[in-house]
Amino acid sequence: MQNVIVNLLPEISIILTSFLLLINSLYKNKNSELVNFIITIVGLILSLYFVTNQSNQTFFNGNLENSDFTKTIKILLIFATLISLFFIKSKNFNFHNEFFSEYSFLLIISLLGGLFLVSAREFFTAIISIEILSIPLYIIAATGTKSGLSVEGATKLFFFGSLSTVILVFSAVLLFVATGSTLINLSILDYKDIVSVLCFLFILIPVCFKTGLLPMHFWISDVYQSSPPRLLTYLSTVPKIAVISFFINIMMGDGSQIFEVKLFKYILSIFCFVSIFYGSILTLRQTNLMRLLAYSGIPHAGMMLLFSIVYIGDSFEFMRIYFSFYILSNTCLYLCISNLDNYEKGGIDSLKGLYNDSIFISICLAISILSLAGTPLTYGFWAKFNLIILMYKTNGLLYSVLILIGSMISFYYYLRLIKEIFSDKKINTKNKILISLNDKSIIAICTILIILLGLSPNLIKILS
């Protein structure tokens, strides 16, 4: 029992933090927001400490598992949540500050679901974890300043999110029929058995929805366009990485690869590459900034999911690089965007001449965009380059060529943003952009890390 508690200390610290937030919120005073901020930061740091000291083993009768992979993902999830909370706590954004306690509680609860999901090895444990991860997101999506769009986006997210959970429950039933257990070990499924094939598909469909992959991507643009901009650093990274990591882990089963069964490998490969190419085409057609950024995440999700067709032992370092690059680049991108008060109408051309208003924001925004595009000397280059090399070694030339073509397409729509930022305005005017010291510090740190890790990606081992 003591060993189980030790393995659950990261999650226990998050649960205690959420209770302390609730208790402190009952006593409203002028310092309650500051106290909640301190409670949240301390709770996350404690959770981070406990994760780094976890032992590698399964517990709760095999329902949960800790490994080097799960520990790395949990560190990244906590890190992304920590940065998101610093974003919300900004003097320049009274709307976010007013509801800081509520946002903190929602993010903490969602993170708790993500931590459990990464370790889950049993179907109903995973389903409960996904719901804990998702329910706060439905509320967050409805709290944007554009009330009409926010309600529409949150409604779509809630309805289809609930539907995807039902499909996942049905998959659990099919797995029980096929194996006699709800412990997730897909490597023993028989591709000749229709029940096994349906079980795999009914797991993949909810994963596609939660990560915004085609054909379950229809909610993503509305949610990104209407959600509070400062919470997009969380919405665009933590849920996506948690669900993809869970899927990657269950594909490995007990260490034997399910993708020795070629049918399952081909099914997943089709989902990934359709998302990479069609997601890029959708992005090319966008003129609204937030919708473009929303759709640009679809190819990245497809590329991250490709890691699931490679054995974890061969791809662990490459996954760590890709996931950490995605968090850093999105963090820098959305924090820069959220500071552009005069650009909230959302057109891509509203970025025109941004360098005249703020050289600092322009350079940092450009570096984050170039990183997402996979430009050399940025962290994103190594993330995509390593994925291409990994796919070539494990799956042949075709996979690598397809990823390379998808990355080349993404260059076009990312460079459109760079062009707008450094082009001249039609009218020679300047808009005053106020950036808090807190925001400047985080933006600068993320930008420096993107460049340093682009020059030497092995530094991520030291940082993690």
**pLDDT tens-digit profile, the chain (464 residues):** 556 777 888 999 999 999 998 888 777 677 777 888 888 999 999 999 999 888 888 877 778 888 888 899 999 999 999 988 887 766 555 555 567 778 888 999 999 999 999 999 888 899 999 999 999 988 888 876 666 677 777 888 888 888 888 898 988 888 888 777 788 876 666 667 787 788 888 888 889 888 888 888 878 888 888 777 778 888 889 999 999 999 988 877 544 455 555 677 888 888 899 999 988 888 888 888 888 888 989 999 999 998 888 876 667 888 889 999 999 999 999 888 888 765 555 678 778 878 887 889 999 999 999 999 988 889 999 999 999 998 888 888 898 999 999 888 888 889 888 988 888 765 555 666 777 788 888 899 999 999 999 888 777 665 55
The pLDDT of residue 314:
65
Could you give the count of Cα atoms lying within 13 Å of 452 in the half-sphere of its Cβ? 13
10 Å Cβ neighbour count for 359?
A: 10
* Domain extent at residue 10: 2-463
10 Å Cβ neighbour count for 388?
A: 18
Environment class of 52 (CB within 10 Å of its CB; exposed 0-12, middle 13-18, buried 19+): exposed
The pLDDT of residue 65:
86
The pLDDT of residue 111:
94
Could you give the number of structural domains in the chain? 1
The pLDDT of residue 257:
52
Residue 437 φ/ψ region, left for φ over 0, alpha for ψ in the -120 to 50 degree band, beta for the rest: alpha
Q: What is the CA radius of gyration of the chain?
A: 21
Q: What is the dihedral of CA 28, 34, 39, 44, to 10 degrees?
A: 140
Torsion sign (Cα): 294, 295, 298, 300: negative
Contacts 24+ apart (CB under 8 A), 413-416: 413/280, 413/283, 413/284, 413/286, 413/292, 413/296, 414/296, 414/369, 414/370, 414/372, 414/373, 415/373, 416/348
The pLDDT of residue 437:
81
Q: How far is CA 205 from CA 139, 168, 321, 328, 340, in A?
A: 23, 8, 26, 28, 36
pTM: predicted TM-score of the whole model, two decimal places? 0.91
CA distance 384 to 386: 5
Any idea which residue has 């095999």 for tokens? 62
Q: What is the dihedral of CA 155, 161, 164, 170, to 10 degrees?
A: -100
Structure tokens at 196: 């096994």
CA distance 194 to 177: 11
Assess contact for 18 and 109: CB atoms under 8 A: yes
The pLDDT of residue 451:
92
**For residue 366, what are the contacts with CB-CB under 8 A and spacing of at least 6?**
418, 421, 422
The pLDDT of residue 141:
83
Single-letter amino acid, residue 344: E
10 Å Cβ neighbour count for 427?
A: 6
CA distance 451 to 360: 15
Helix pair angle (100-119, 32-52), 10° resolution: 10
The pLDDT of residue 255:
47
